[in-house]
């Protein structure tokens, strides 16, 4: 379980990093997914470019129009500890605090998690809900890709060789309330069911992760969310609505437990969003 | 962890005091010394190439042309140097199978060693190992114990007619008459899945051969240094046991998983004897998952026959255990089913008992002992059927159990399976546990939550002596323990013992025992263990025996040394030896006292003050063999209160009570720690842990991200109630308790979940309990 040999570079600045990435190289951010994969020799990068200390990627700011901008190398722990300004900071701090264990949060980064694109991870689900836009830079250029176009499937993204995710841009969400639900057998494990929900006046949507496909964002009739719920969610109109919407998305085996967990966590996230 | 002591021990003795552990000083400071911490000049690392196939013919192994000479060691390299491991059991029904030290011709499980690679460091060794190309010709894999019994499953071992390591059965009592008398007959088919001990520290071995002295030294993360040494001498050619030294340094947990003789240490020893430098192998977690012993994996059918008034008349049980590919030495895979069938009656008496215990070979990692050995599975079967039988006759499950328990005054009691219980008060334990867990009532739960309470009652066979080991057919009869106690000229006490402490706190407990006898504070006593050259021969720390057996040895050695000290002191105080009291670090006579260090100086350095008929020095070796050799039986009742989320099938433990009786408690803090740690492993088995294999025999859970070990958030504050029913058969009245914590939880949690879901007609048939299974069963 030792790493195979590789070259390692820790460039001092973003441009130097992009120049290095223009050759054959893999990005090392927090390394919380990559290093075990290298230990198992499933991942065998010849060269690692360590971006974890690039100050340009380690900050967060609120733009005048309310857009929240997060550097890709911001760690889960920084977010958990309140590094994000603005009205979304509290919700995202809570999301971050639920990721794995503190030791992993200390190193793991939001950009790394998005690029790893594990469907059961927290950030792909939450950023899909928030319609985040990802800034991908390469030596001499950049493009902006909506997260829903970025996430292509299990461990698959639209990033191209030479590109580096530098910034996550989250548009303002006026009047929104949020909810999050996860289903794990053990705290800190990758979720078997994960959902994030957003309730705005007149609209409700929920993003379901831990599917075989990228996170699925479903619109739900807000009246089903805000009304009283029966004690057994499985017999609620809300459950039926999310169930039907997920079946229509054709992302799961509709008879299976994972489908049920996706719907159940989706309902729980929506109900939490509706809590006063 | 809360602890409530029901003890009448009230004197100034150190035994019974909750002293913090002496060994924690180094561990909390990060100054422990484990195998991987060892630094030896010139050391080189070994990586093993392990089979990626569950069952295959193994052809030649292609070695890259640029591999350095001497780097790759295949089975041929060990011809004539090592012998295959043969675990024997002196029972006619048992069939041994040789475990190759390195695979040759056939591989029988994923993880079996195919080649060893030597390099300057582990990473380089792995680089070369992954470039080796063994030729595999796949064979059908047997991946399930019931499949192993099918006629179409070809025998895995040469010369075998089928895949059965051992099958045995017996009927005791007038079984048919009891069945005819019974009003209810309740049957359940149950499964307890495959788990492993999973210590924090993986296995590891360093081997060095000193050409000058001819001494081979091995540092091994093991529970049994002396027995490993004895077995190494048998497995290796060209070296005598005398010239082998085994050192178990700090060991980070074993739980039975480090009690086996493993191929790796034999290979490292053989390599070191042929190399001019030390060699090291430190197991990684993947290797641990596929090559360290697994445990349990039972398929069970159990039937209880009872009257409608609540008298349990007869029990009929069949255990089928998946023993894996090879018989590990020394326990053999048969230990699991055999032990389960023998301990099944637990705290109950009934008129007739019929059992069948079968252990089969499959293409999976070999099965060995793990905390509880057979007992968690037996208690799971017995307590599940007690619960269901109570429900079938409409009786409170506690009341039903109480009606059928052995009463305290019936001890010593011989069970229907032939075990001799020394002492215990099981009804009292159950009553206390029930009162405690039921006290707050079931409470008001939201409609999507079902609350349930369940019990797991057990007796824990511990510290068995020669008679019991011989009855089982063990080739090694674990009948004694030894202690050497020395007092140096400055009055310091050095205890060396043949057992080995790898988390049990024995450096503290044994020091408390020695301190009491010698009249010194326990922290003046240094306990040395785990080194075959520094310590007297012993069987090691297994089978909940160390405190009773080594405690008896330390007590006996210290008593003998104390008698000598009293004689020396009496001579110099001019009084009778019987009038000398050892206390407060001195020998106190009626008219004066002498500090212990002064007595020690006399014994070593001032012989003019030593009586001529007293042998110089203060240095005693004593071997303890218990007068009654059938063992001391701890007992316990585990009570769990759970919440089942009816929407998701998730189970949350709300409360967990352990009412426990291990006789005299030497150190309550250590006892509570043992219980809490065992309960954590038991809850892992109840709710989270299981190895799984696909139909090709590939293990699908080989990381700690897949094989779920409970962490603090999955556990609860274990509430412990102590009861001290002394054993008449042991020196201190103490009984072993190392395994009990892990025995009760699968039964207690499964019964609690069954209690919660009885209203829906659902009961637990399998541990670990999987949320998807409950969800499926609860589906409208």
Domain-located, residue B594: yes
The single-letter DSSP state of residue B250 is B
Question: Which of residues B624, B652, B686 is at a domain's end?
Answer: B624
How many CB pairs below 8 Å do chains A and B form together? 60
**One domain for residues B215 and B82:** yes
Q: How far is B775 from chain A (nearest CA, A)?
A: 8
Q: Are residues B382 and B520 in the same domain?
A: no
The token duo for B88 is 């024997």
The CATH code that applies to domain A177-274 is: 3.30.390.50
Which residue among A2, A193, A264 sits closest to B123, beta carbon to beta carbon? A2
- Given this model, what pLDDT does residue B5 score? 47
Alpha helices per DSSP H over A220-276 = 222-226, 237-249, 257-274
For residues B497 and B599, membership in a common domain is answered with yes
List chain A residues with CB under 8 Å of B448. Answer: 231-233
Domain co-membership, B610 together with B724: no
| Residue A42 forms contact with B (CB below 8 Å) | no
CATH of domain A7-50: 3.30.43.10
Q: Please state, in angstroms and rounded to a whole number, the distance separating the CA atoms of residues B375 and A53.
A: 53
The pTM of the whole model exceeds 0.80: yes
- Integer Cα distance of B222 and B354 in angstroms: 37
Partners of residue A188 in chain B, C-beta under 8 Å: 711, 713
Greatest Cα-to-Cα distance within chain A, rounded to the nearest angstrom: 59
Q: Which residue of A has its CA nearest to B288?
A: A1
- Minimum distance, in Å, between the CA of residue B272 and any CA atom of chain A: 23
Going by the DSSP 8-state scheme, the letter that residue B373 receives in this structure is T
Who among A41, A232, A257 is closest to B772 (CB)?
A: A257
pLDDT of residue A20: 96
Which residue is closest to A36 within chain B, CA to CA? Answer: B703
CB contact under 8 A, B646 and A232: yes
Our CA-based measurement puts residue B126 at a distance from the nearest CA of chain A, in whole angstroms, of: 7
Domain extent, residue B613, equals 480-624
Of B284, B446, B650, the CB nearest to A1: B284
Determine the distance in angstroms separating the CA of A3 from the nearest CA of chain B, rounded to an integer: 7
Q: Which of B624, B652, B684 is the last residue of a domain?
A: B624
Instruction: Please tell me the distance from the alpha carbon of residue A72 to that of residue A21, in angstroms, as a whole number.
Output: 16
> Do B609 and B639 lie in a common domain?
no
Report the SS3 class of residue B462.
strand
- Are residues B648 and A264, on separate chains, in Cβ contact within 8 Å? yes
Give me the pLDDT at residue B8, please: 37
Q: Closest partner residue to A231 among B447, B713, B714, by Cβ?
A: B447
Cβ(B734)–Cβ(B664) under 8 Å? yes
Question: Residue B746: which CATH number?
Answer: 3.30.365.10
Q: Which residues of chain B have pLDDT under 70?
A: 1-11, 440-443
Q: Quick one: pLDDT at residue B444?
A: 74
Out of B122, B286, B688, whose CB is closest to A185? B688
Helix count and strand count (H, E) for chain B: 19, 32
User: Quick check: is B191 in a domain?
Assistant: no
Nearest CA to A112 out of A219, A183, A28, A36 is that of A28
Q: Between chains, do B647 and A5 touch, taking CB under 8 Å as contact?
A: no
CA nearest B285 in A: which residue?
Answer: A1
- Of B462, B448, B407, B461, residue with least CA distance to B430: B407
Among B122, B285, B771, whose Cβ lies nearest the Cβ of A185?
B771
Nearest to A186 among B122, B447, B708 (CB): B708
The crossing angle, in degrees rounded to 10, of helices B745-757 and B771-778 is: 20
User: Would you state the pLDDT for residue A116?
Assistant: 97
Q: Which chain A residue lies closest to B706 (C-alpha atoms)?
A: A189
Contact B688 A186 (CB under 8 A): yes
C-beta atoms surrounding B436 within 10 Å: 18
Q: Which residues of A touch B650 (CB under 8 A)?
A: 183, 185
Q: What does B549-602 look like in DSSP terms, one character per residue? A: HHHHHHHHHHHHHHHHHHHHHHHHHTS-GGG-EEETTEEEETTEEEEHHHHHHH
Q: Is B733 helix (H, G, I), strand (E, B) or coil?
A: coil
Q: What is the pLDDT of residue B97?
A: 87
Dist. CA B113–CA B263, nearest whole Å: 8
pLDDT tens for B207-216 read 999 999 999 9
End of a domain among B570, B591, B624? B624
Q: Total domain count for chain B?
A: 3
Quote the CA–CA distance of B213 and A275 in Å, as a whole number: 77
Nearest residue on chain B to A44, judged by CA atoms?
Answer: B127
Residue B459, CA distances (Å) to B302, B343, B352, B373 in order? 19, 8, 19, 13
Q: Are B694 and B641 in the same domain?
A: yes
Q: Which of B127, B688, B713 is the closest to A4 by Cβ?
A: B127
- Contacts by A17-24, CB closer than 8 A, 24 or more apart: A17/A49, A17/A51, A17/A54, A17/A164, A18/A137, A18/A138, A18/A139, A18/A162, A18/A164, A19/A139, A20/A47, A20/A49, A21/A49, A21/A138, A21/A139, A21/A161, A21/A162, A21/A163, A21/A164, A22/A138, A22/A139, A22/A162, A23/A47, A24/A161
Find the chain B residues whose C-beta atoms sit closer than 8 A to any C-beta of A. 122-123, 126-127, 130, 284-287, 446-448, 646-650, 687-688, 703, 705, 708, 710-711, 713-714, 771-772, 775-776
Q: Where in chain A is the domain with CATH 3.30.465.10?
A: 55-170
Within chain B, what is the greatest distance between any pair of CA atoms?
91
Q: Among candidates A71, A56, A70, which has minimal Cα distance to A15?
A: A56
Distance CA B539, CA B226 (A): 7
Burial B747-773 (b: 16+ CB within 10 A, else e): bbbbbbbbbbbeeeebbbbbbbbbbeb
Q: Cα distance from A120 to chain B (closest Cα, Å)?
A: 13
Gap between the Cα atoms of B460 and B462, Å rounded:
6
**ipTM field:** 0.95
Indicate if B219 and B96 belong to the same structural domain: yes
Domain with residues A55-170, CATH architecture: 2-Layer Sandwich (3.30)
pLDDT tens digits for range B718-728: 999 999 999 99
Do residues A215 and A151 make contact, with C-beta atoms less than 8 angstroms apart?
yes
In this structure, the answer to whether residues B450 and B522 fall within a common structural domain is no
In a domain, B172, yes or no: no
Q: What is the DSSP letter of A3?
A: P
Crossing angle, helix B426-438 and helix B397-404, to 10 degrees?
A: 170
Q: Give the whole-angstrom CA distance, residue B68 versus residue A22.
A: 36
Nearest Cα residue in chain B from A37: B703
Count of other CB atoms within 10 angstroms of residue B256: 26
Q: Do B708 and A185 touch (CB under 8 A)?
A: yes
Same structural domain for residues B620 and B597? yes
Instruction: Report yes or no on B661 lying in a domain.
Output: yes
Tokens 């990033």 appear where? A159
- Is B710 within 8 Å of A186 when comparing Cβ atoms? yes
Q: What pLDDT, on the 0 to 100 scale, is given for residue A251?
A: 86
What does the alpha-carbon distance between residue B228 and residue B261 come to, in Å, rounded to a whole number?
6
In a domain, B318, yes or no: yes
Domain membership of residue B652 (yes or no) is yes
**Which chain B residues contact residue A5 at CB under 8 A?**
123, 127
Half-sphere exposure (Cβ direction) of B757: Cα atoms closer than 13 Å: 29
Q: Which regions of chain A carry the CATH code 3.30.390.50?
A: 177-274
Judging contacts by C-beta atoms under 8 Å, the chain A residues touching residue B711 are 186-188
Tell me the β-bridge partners of B632: B462
pLDDT in 10s for each residue of chain A, 276 residues = 899 999 999 999 999 999 999 988 999 999 999 999 999 999 999 999 999 999 999 999 999 999 999 999 999 999 999 999 999 999 999 999 999 999 999 999 999 999 999 999 999 999 999 999 999 999 999 999 999 999 999 999 999 999 999 999 999 999 999 999 999 999 988 899 999 999 999 999 999 999 989 999 999 999 999 888 888 899 999 999 999 999 999 888 999 999 999 999 999 999 999 998
**How confident is the model at residue B6, as a pLDDT?**
41
Q: Tell which A residues from 203 to 262 touch B, by Cβ distance under 8 Å.
A: 230-234, 257, 260-261
* Angstrom distance (rounded) from CA B467 to CA B463: 11
């Amino acid at each position: 379980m030792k790493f195979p040999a590789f070259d390692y570079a820790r460039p001092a600045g973003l441009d130097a990093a992009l120049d290095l990435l223009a050759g054959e190289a893999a990005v090392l951010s927090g390394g919380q997914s990559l290093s075990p994969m290298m230990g198992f020799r499933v991942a065998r990068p010849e060269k690692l470019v360590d971006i974890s200390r690039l100050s340009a990627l380690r900050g967060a700011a609120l733009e005048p129009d309310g857009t929240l901008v997060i550097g890709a190398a911001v760690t889960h722990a920084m977010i958990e500890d309140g590094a994000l300004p603005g009205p979304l900071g509290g919700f995202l701090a809570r999301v971050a605090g639920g990721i794995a264990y503190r030791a992993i949060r200390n190193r793991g980064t939001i950009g790394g998690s998005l690029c790893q694109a594990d469907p059961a991870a927290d950030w792909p689900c939450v950023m899909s809900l928030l319609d985040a836009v990802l800034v991908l830079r390469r030596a001499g250029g950049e493009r902006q890709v909506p997260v829903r176009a970025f996430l292509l499937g299990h461990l698959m993204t639209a990033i191209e060789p030479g590109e580096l995710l530098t910034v996550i841009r989250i548009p303002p969400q006026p009047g929104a309330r949020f909810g999050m639900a996860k289903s794990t057998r053990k705290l800190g494990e990758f979720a078997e069911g994960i959902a994030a929900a957003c309730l705005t006046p007149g609209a409700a949507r929920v993003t379901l992760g831990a599917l075989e496909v990228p996170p699925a964002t479903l619109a739900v009739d807000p009246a089903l969310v805000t009304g009283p719920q029966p004690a057994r969610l499985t017999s609620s109109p809300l459950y039926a609505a999310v169930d039907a919407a997920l079946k229509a998305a054709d992302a799961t085996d509709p008879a299976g437990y994972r489908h049920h967990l996706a719907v159940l966590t989706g309902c729980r996230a929506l109900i939490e969003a509706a809590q006063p | 962890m809360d602890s409530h002591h029901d003890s009448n021990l009230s004197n100034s003795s150190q035994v019974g005091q909750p002293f913090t552990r002496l060994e924690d000083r180094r561990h909390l400071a990060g100054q422990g010394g484990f195998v991987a911490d060892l630094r030896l000049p010139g050391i080189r690392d070994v990586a093993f190439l392990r089979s990626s196939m569950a069952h295959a013919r193994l052809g030649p192994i292609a070695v890259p042309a640029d591999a350095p000479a001497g780097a790759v060691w295949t089975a041929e390299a060990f011809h004539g140097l090592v012998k295959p491991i043969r675990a024997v059991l002196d029972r006619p029904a048992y069939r041994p199978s040789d475990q190759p030290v390195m695979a040759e011709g056939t591989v029988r499980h994923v993880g079996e060693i195919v080649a060893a690679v030597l390099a300057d460091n582990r990473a380089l060794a792995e680089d070369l190992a992954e470039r080796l190309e063994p030729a595999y010709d796949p064979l059908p894999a047997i991946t399930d114990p019931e499949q192993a019994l099918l006629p179409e499953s070809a025998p895995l071992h040469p010369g075998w007619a089928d895949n059965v390591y051992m099958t045995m059965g017996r009927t005791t009592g007038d079984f048919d008459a009891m069945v005819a008398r019974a009003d209810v007959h309740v049957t359940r088919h149950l499964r307890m899945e495959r788990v492993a001990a999973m210590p924090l520290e993986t296995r590891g071995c360093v081997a060095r051969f000193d050409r000058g002295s001819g001494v081979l030294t091995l540092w091994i993360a093991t529970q049994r240094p002396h027995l490993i040494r004895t077995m190494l001498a048998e497995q290796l050619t060209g070296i005598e046991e005398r010239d082998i030294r085994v050192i178990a340094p700090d060991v980070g947990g074993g739980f039975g998983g480090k009690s086996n003789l493993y191929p790796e240490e034999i290979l490292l020893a053989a390599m070191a004897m042929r190399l001019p430098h030390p060699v090291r192998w430190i197991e990684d977690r993947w290797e641990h998952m596929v090559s360290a012993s697994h445990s349990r994996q039972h398929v069970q059918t159990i039937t209880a026959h009872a009257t409608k008034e609540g008298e349990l008349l007869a029990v009929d049980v069949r255990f089928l255990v998946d023993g894996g590919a090879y018989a590990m030495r020394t326990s053999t895979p048969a230990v699991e089913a055999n032990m389960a069938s023998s301990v099944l009656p637990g705290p109950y008496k009934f008129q007739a008992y019929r059992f069948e215990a079968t252990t089969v070979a499959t293409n999976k990692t070999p099965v060995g002992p793990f905390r509880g050995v057979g007992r968690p599975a037996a208690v799971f079967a017995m307590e599940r059927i007690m619960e269901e039988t109570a429900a079938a006759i409409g009786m409170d499950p506690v009341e039903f159990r109480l009606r059928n328990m052995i009463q305290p005054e019936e001890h010593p009691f011989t069970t229907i399976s032939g075990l001799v219980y020394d002492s215990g008060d099981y009804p009292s334990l159950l009553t206390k546990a029930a009162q405690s867990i039921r006290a707050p009532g079931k409470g008001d739960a939201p409609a999507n939550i079902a609350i349930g309470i369940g019990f797991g009652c057990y007796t824990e066979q511990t510290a068995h002596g020669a008679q019991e080991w011989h009855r089982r057919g063990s080739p090694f009869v674990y009948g004694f323990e030894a202690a050497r106690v020395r007092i140096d000229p400055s009055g310091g006490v050095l205890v060396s013992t043949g057992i080995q402490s790898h988390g049990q706190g024995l450096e503290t407990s044994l020091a408390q025992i020695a301190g009491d006898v010698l009249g010194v504070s326990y922290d003046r006593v240094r306990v040395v263990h785990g080194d075959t050259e520094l310590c007297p021969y012993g069987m090691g720390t297994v089978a909940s025996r160390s405190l009773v057996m080594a405690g008896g040895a330390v007590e006996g050695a210290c008593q003998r040394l104390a008698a000598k000290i009293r004689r020396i002191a009496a001579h110099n105080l001019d009084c009778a030896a019987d009038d000398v009291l050892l206390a407060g670090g001195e020998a106190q006579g009626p008219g004066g006292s002498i500090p212990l260090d002064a007595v020690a100086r006399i014994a070593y350095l001032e012989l003019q003050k030593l009586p001529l008929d007293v042998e110089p020095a203060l240095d005693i070796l004593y071997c303890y063999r218990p007068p009654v050799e059938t063992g001391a039986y701890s007992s316990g009742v585990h009570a769990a209160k759970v919440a089942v989320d009816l929407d998701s099938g998730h189970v949350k433990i709300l409360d967990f009570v352990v009412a426990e009786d291990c006789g005299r408690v030497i150190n309550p803090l250590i006892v509570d720690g043992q219980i809490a740690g065992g309960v954590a492993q038991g809850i892992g088995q109840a709710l989270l842990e299981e190895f799984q294999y696909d139909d090709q025999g590939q293990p699908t859970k080989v990381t700690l991200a897949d094989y779920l070990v409970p962490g603090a958030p999955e556990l609860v504050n274990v509430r412990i109630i102590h009861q001290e029913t002394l054993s008449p058969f042991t020196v201190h009245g103490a009984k072993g308790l190392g395994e009990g914590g892990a025995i009760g939880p699968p039964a207690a949690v499964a019964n609690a979940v069954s209690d919660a879901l009885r209203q829906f007609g659902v009961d637990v048939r399998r541990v670990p309990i999987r949320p998807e299974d409950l969800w499926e069963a609860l589906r409208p």
